[in-house]
Amino acid sequence: MTTSPTVTPRSRVIGRIADHLAALDPGHPLRVGVDGITAAGKTTLAAELAVAVAERGRPAIALSLDGYHHPRARRYRQGRESAAGYYEDAYDTAAVRRELLDRLGPEGDGLYRTRVIDLASDQVLAEDPQAAARDAVLIVDGSFLQRSELVGGWDQIVFVQVDFEVAHARAVVRDADLLGGSERAAELYTNRYHAACRRYLAEHDPLAKAPIVVENNDPANPHLVRIGGTEGTAVQLFSYGTLQLPEVQRSQFGRLLDGQADSITGYQQEWLTITDPAVIAASGTDRHPVVRAADPTRSVDGSVFAITPAELAAADLYEVDDYRRFLVPLASGGSAWVYLAVEGS
């Protein structure tokens, strides 16, 4: 099998993040925040991610923090252009915890409200809560998601990293009509929205704290910076194939990995023909092993490597789309990420 010609660099990155999220089971709905500065592309990425998660068999709930604003009088009490007003008064973080994150957390009742205000009409709402499936993935896009009031409420954070200059240009084009023209939009983003975002970055360092980071300056070609943890953490990866080869490790990670022999039970190994030129060049072959679920008496041998989240992102982009990454138990105990065959490939 070969990678579908419809796969794009963007859908590849979205798919790998969806693989990661769909494999996580905290015992309650997985609460995912898509964070970043204003006009980073969070809403678009979150919507695409929800679709990809659903395609992997997990119920997906996509919400925007726009439904958790304070009323207009509270939002603008420090002035229409006030950066402090946007940072301190825009979002009802207490309601986010009370009606959304805590209710879907380990001690919650599994109910949630999609919004507490209609932003356009400025009407406060008291809509009936909805029930989330235990294995649902909640994906919320918004600004300031890692501020102190929300710490502990997220199971995963995806930080969408964009240069301020890029976000500013996008915002002016996007919101010129809404904000009274391009010049007025530029002023508001400089003085209010992005000034508040600069304060957020300085006070909370959300980029460093996010376990998943996507650089999104070019939306058609986003870069998966890291996945699976913050800088300095280790991720366990089980390999039964070409990632065990020294030449592949050097080309993908820039170093040789120190692996430990291990195995996974209930799987069997087959072979896959690869057509991706970059993968063939790195591995030296178009014949790659692939593993599928099988009889519980079967097992597959390989090696476990402790790698960085940035290296896991590199591995995600090395593997073609006939593979998806799953979290599986190891024969030695514990668990590790492994690339398995996509159903039907």
pTM: predicted TM-score of the whole model, two decimal places: 0.93
Q: Do residues 251 and 44 lie in contact, with contact meaning Cβ atoms separated by under 8 Å?
A: no
Tokens (6 digits) for 8: 């794009």
Asked if residue 203 belongs to a domain, the reply is yes
Whether 3 maps to a domain, the answer reads no
Residues forming a β-bridge with 153:
none
DSSP H or E segment with residue 306: strand 299-307
Beta bridge partners of 61: 138
Q: What is the pLDDT of residue 336?
A: 97
What pLDDT, in 10s, does the model give residues 88-110? 999 999 999 999 999 999 999 99
pLDDT of residue 272: 73
Q: Given this model, what pLDDT does residue 1 score?
A: 32
Question: Are 102 and 188 contained in the same domain?
Answer: yes
Task: Report CA-CA distances (Å) from 48 to 40, 44, 52, 54, 221.
Answer: 14, 6, 6, 10, 15
Same domain, 332 and 245: yes
Which stretches of the chain score pLDDT less than 70? Answer: 1-5, 274, 279-280, 282-283, 286-287, 344-345
Inside any domain, residue 294? yes
Residue 210 lies in a domain: yes
Residue 29 domain-assigned? yes
Phi, psi at residue 136, to the nearest 5°?
-70, 155
Looking up residue 86, the CATH number of its domain turns out to be 3.40.50.300
> How high is the pLDDT of residue 290?
81
162 and 83 assigned to the same domain: yes
192 with 254, same domain: the answer is no
Is the same domain home to 30 and 55?
A: yes
pLDDT tens readout for residues 238-262: 999 889 999 999 999 999 999 999 9
pLDDT value at residue 286:
67
First to last CA, the chain: 6
Looking at 225, 257, 289, which one is the last position of a domain? 225
pLDDT at site 2? 38
Task: Please check whether residue 63 is in contact with residue 138, taking contact to mean a CB–CB distance below 8 angstroms.
Answer: yes
For residue 32, CA distances in Å to 59, 78, 195, 254 come to: 13, 31, 25, 31
65 shares a domain with 195: yes
Q: Range of 139's domain?
A: 9-225
Q: 323-329 and 259-265 as β-strands: parallel, antiparallel, unpaired?
A: unpaired
Of 157, 191, 225, the last residue of a domain is 225
Q: Which residues contact 5 (CB under 8 A, 6 or more apart)?
A: none
117 and 50 within one domain: yes
Q: Which residue bears the tokens 């366990």?
A: 236
How far apart are alpha carbons 137 and 318 in whole angstroms? 26
The residue to which tokens 């240069």 are assigned: 163
Question: Do 153 and 56 have their domain in common?
Answer: yes
Nearest to 31 by CA among 60, 57, 68: 60
